[in-house]
Amino acid sequence: MQISVGDTATIRTIQGLATRLLEGFAALGPGEELELDTSQLDEADLSFVQLIEAARIQGAQEGKPLRLAHPANTALAALLARGGLAACADSATLAFWFHGDAPQ
């Protein structure tokens, strides 16, 4: 199942995305994964990163992994860098956000 984030994911809009993620996880069967499309994301803040990191943990606990459809785009990579995540994340976190490509 795929969920599109759209072009904005900020504190003002994050509740809607959180609801869609919860509904997405609930609709999945065991072992199925939830894919998040961030390709159109143009504006985001750290509430988005916090939500996605929490969703990754929840998905892993339920055996329903969360993954990005594409590596972090320019706007998302810049947000991750500003938030300090790109510089200090472990290899699994970097693989999630950047699909194995080192952040620039």
Domains of the chain, by residue range, sit at: 2-98
Superfamily of domain 2-98: STAS domain (3.30.750.24)
1 contacts: CB under 8 Å, gap ≥ 6: 24, 27, 28, 32, 34, 35
Secondary structure class of 97 (helix, strand, coil): helix
Flag whether the pTM goes above 0.85. yes
Model pLDDT for residues 6-22, shown as the tens digit of each residue: 999 999 999 999 999 99
Q: Is the pLDDT of residue 104 over 80?
A: no
Percent of the chain with pLDDT over 70: 96
Q: Is the pLDDT of residue 35 over 70?
A: yes
Q: Residues 16-39: what's their mean pLDDT?
A: 96
